[in-house]
Amino acid sequence: MSKLVTLTIDGLQVSVPAGTLLVNAAKKIGIDIPVFCYHPKMEPVGMCRMCLVDIGRPVIDRATGQPVLEADGSPKIQFGPKLETACTTPVSEGMVVVGMSDKVKAGREDILEFLLTSHPLDCPICDKGGECPLQNLTMDFGPGESRYLYDEKKHLAKRVPLGELIFLDRERCIQCGRCVRFQDEIADDPVIGFYQRGRSLEIVTFSEPGFDSYFSGNTSDICPVGALTTADFRFGARPWELNASASVCSQCPVGCNLTFNIRREAKAGGDWVIKRVMPRQNEEVNEIWICDKGRFAYHFTESAERLTQPLVRKGGELVPTSWEEALKVVADHFRQAGEGLLTLASGRLSNEDLFNLHELTTKLGGKTALYTDQAGGDLVAQVGVGQGTNFSDMGPETAIFVVASDLLEEAPIWWLRVKQAAERGAQLIVANPRPTKLERYAKHTIRYPYGSEAATVLAMVNALSAKRPNLPEAVQNLLRSPELQAAAKAFAEAENAVILFGGEGTGLETSQALSQACANLLITTGHVGKQNNGLIGVWQRANDQGAWDIGFRPLPGLKDAMRAAKALYVIAADPAGDDPAQAETGDFMVVQELFLTATAKLADVVLPVQAYTEREGTFTSGERRVQRYYPAVPQRPGSKADFSVTAQIAKLLDQDLEARAVSKVMQRIAASVPDYAGISYQKLAEVTEQWPIIGRQDLYYGGTGYENGQGLGVQLIPAAQRGETVPISWPQLSNVSVPENSLLAVPVTRLYDHGKTVMPSKLLHQRI
């Protein structure tokens, strides 16, 4: 922490770290200085000149070096001839800032009048109207009337598609450059830029494809006017008609905090519908950003294909029936099946759903299976990242090792934050069979043949310590590679270290080996049990980690187990759809789903459930942060929440599971799953003030992202941090031998996959 500097702003004293910019020092004591081009997440540029303030500095006597004093003994303050920009001026000792003098007010009015001379003033039809910094600041400080001749206004294109997702209105743009700088500084995808100069300055893209960036939606949040709008929300609604409902993204393990903006719509029969998805601030998870998948993939909720009635198979046909009958049929078969019951569920479900499923199944003596081919969630619970881990705190003293994952595609916000950590000096090590964009920022890049990811990590362990579990020939030369040895050294020497391991090119067995190898590397280098240290799984689904914690495990030989099952209970999974070869129904199959999936079509009973946007629940992110989501829109008539369906089946089997209050299910989880002890819905809803302060009256500062009032969640404590010693167990290496430059087809994850919850978003179709 650098030394504190004390200054006075509008009569209030404040002490802030040296180097703090005036605009932020003021914010800390609740004084809002208007800005347009400045954004707390980006470097200051001092372009728009909106933040002009009057700055005085103590007069220092040249001879003595002491401050000159007034008659009354107070230091003599010298004000500059010009106003200065608060967004670019760092605080200095004894500074006196006047943010509200007539001179300053006049300055603001002048700048606003200039901006308005070339603004169309089409607020009545503007998407930003109501949450527009330019509009608000004009109300506060702007001129009453325009002295600029209307017919001399520049007329420009009002519907310029910069890409498929973002539209530009050239008349509204005030050339603050926020979008250009976001793409350059933060997303490092400079596909939009300025063209021409002076008053002709305009935002363009000359890239192919155009403005097609995984983070593009964020530019519409930080655009201080209605110049950038999303194809999704454009002319969709007026901000003041919208209600806000807190949620968590269900698309990937990052767990970005979201706000669903909703309103009633005639075309939905007066029902509440989601109009747009906005980021909700959580500085330890997604800061104030979200990726475009999270922003645009919500349309599954409103899909007309949603199931609204239970179906049972009669005479070979699936026919609608009542919940009573459906549940009874299911319960009867489950009772008969007993330990022949196999429950197959995916990480799309909430912790509460998974808990009830797990209880029901084990009480019947049946088996549970997690629908994934990526292993290691149990290890993450032991040596996962320590409580308090935050990518934003990682710098030169931290090593970040990403293996078998293309983060940008699989967990975009992690990519963003890992990249920024690397730019702050973190030792980034990237190991992958093929190049990924993350390598640009890596200090060490390791290329290994598919199948030898675990061996690669073990090679790093060996590079460091004497123990030598015999390595397959294919990677002996890897061990000799100086790049790998340098990487291992950097990793070991770093004060903190985290590993993100993904599933690229791995199957259940290899991924088991990989996760173990990663755990070994962390343990042998002492990088466990502390914050900013430990293991993170880059899972395929939002709540895979929660499923592991609850007790679900992937099942080797799943296909056979499914065939053998007396009763098969499939929830939020579509094995038949993902791989027709997996089409197994057992003797009797129940499918619990949103849609009539390929698997559902084969089922004997199909149970319609609520979308997560229609109910409450919790997800556990890859960083093992348990986070609450809230109902945004009313449930589809006829559907029930998964946990409740399960509980009602259980009831018919004389089991007692919580069917109504999901918060009560969490109480049971807390009572029976050690890691979750002490977790409650109240605790998950707690918030502390975050920096930068956004989402309040001064939308011009942080943008239209939402302040977090509904909970920052709780990061779990891994076993290692509780003081338990985690034993090393060396992984079994399936003896891979990959011939040089051999061709093998490996499925790689792309951001816009065919996920059940992505397909319904027409907007994303073009990109699938």
Q: Is 85 in the site for ligand FES (CB under 6 A)?
A: yes
Contact 418, 400 (CB under 8 A): yes
> Is residue 90 near ligand FES by the rule CB under 6 A?
no
Of the candidates 120, 122, 171, 109, the residue with the CA atom closest to the CA atom of residue 150 = 120
Residue 195 CA to residue 170 CA, distance in Å, equals: 12
Indicate the SS3 state at residue 368: strand
Q: Which is nearer to ligand FES, 224 or 310 (CB)?
A: 224
Choices 43-51, 473-481, 508-516, 709-717 (CB under 6 A): range interacting with ligand FES: 43-51
Which of 23, 31, 33, 48 lies at the binding interface for another protein (CB under 8 A)? 48
H helices present in 399-481, as ranges: 407-410, 412-423, 453-464, 473-480
Of these partners, ligand FES, another protein, none, which one is at the site of residue 35 (CB under 5 to 8 Å by kind)?
ligand FES
Residue nearest to ligand FES (CB): 87
Question: Residue 146, interface with another protein (CB under 8 A)?
Answer: yes
Tell the residue number behind the tokens 């029936």, with chain if given.
321
Contact (CB, 8 A) for 345 and 351: no
State yes or no: residue 117 binds another protein (CB under 8 A).
yes
Closest distance to another protein from the beta carbon of 18 (Å): 15
- The tokens of 351 are what? 């912790």
Nearer to another protein, 111 or 408 (CB): 111
User: Exposure of 74 by Cβ count < 10 A (0-12 exposed, 13-18 middle, 19+ buried)?
Assistant: exposed
Cis peptide leading into 692, omega within 30 of 0? yes
Residue 437, judged by CB atoms within 10 A of its CB (0-12, 13-18, 19+), counts as: middle
Stretch that binds ligand FES, among 46-54, 146-154, 357-365, 605-613 (CB under 6 A): 46-54
Q: How many CB atoms are located within 10 Å of the residue 686 CB? A: 12
* Residue 144 DSSP one-character state: S
Question: Length of the chain, please?
Answer: 768
Largest CA distance in the chain: 103
**By CB under 6 A, is residue 645 in contact with ligand FES?**
no
Nearer Cβ to another protein (88/749): 88
For ligand FES, the binding residue among 7, 26, 50, 600 (CB under 6 A) is: 50
Q: Which of 8, 10, 32, 46 binds ligand FES (CB under 6 A)?
A: 46
Helices H / strands E in the chain, number of each: 24, 29
Q: Give the per-residue contact string, 356-395, with another protein (x = CB under 8 A; - = no).
A: ----------------------------------------
Minimum gap (Å) between residue 416 Cβ and ligand FES: 24
- 87 contacts ligand FES (rule: CB under 6 A): yes
**Of another protein, ligand FES, none, which one sits near residue 38, judging by CB under 5 to 8 A according to partner kind?**
ligand FES
List 205, 229, 286, 420, residue binding another protein (CB under 8 A): 205
Residue matched to tokens 């509008």:
10
Between 50 and 717, CB nearer to ligand FES: 50
Question: What DSSP designation does 339 have?
Answer: G
Residue 30 within binding range of another protein, rule CB under 8 A: no
The entry of another protein, ligand FES, none near residue 380 (CB within 5 to 8 angstroms by kind) is none
Residue 175 interacts with another protein (CB under 8 A)?
yes
**By CB under 6 A, is residue 51 in contact with ligand FES?**
yes
**Contact present, 356 and 550 (Cβ < 8 Å):** no
Contacting range for ligand FES; rule: CB under 6 A; set: 34-42, 349-357, 420-428, 604-612: 34-42
Nearer Cβ to another protein (148/323): 148
Q: Which amino acid is at 547?
A: A
Q: Is the distance from CB of 355 to CB of 658 less than 8 angstroms?
A: no
| CA distance linking residue 604 with residue 519, whole number of Å | 42
Which residues would be at the binding site for ligand FES (CB under 6 A)?
A: 35-38, 46-51, 85, 87
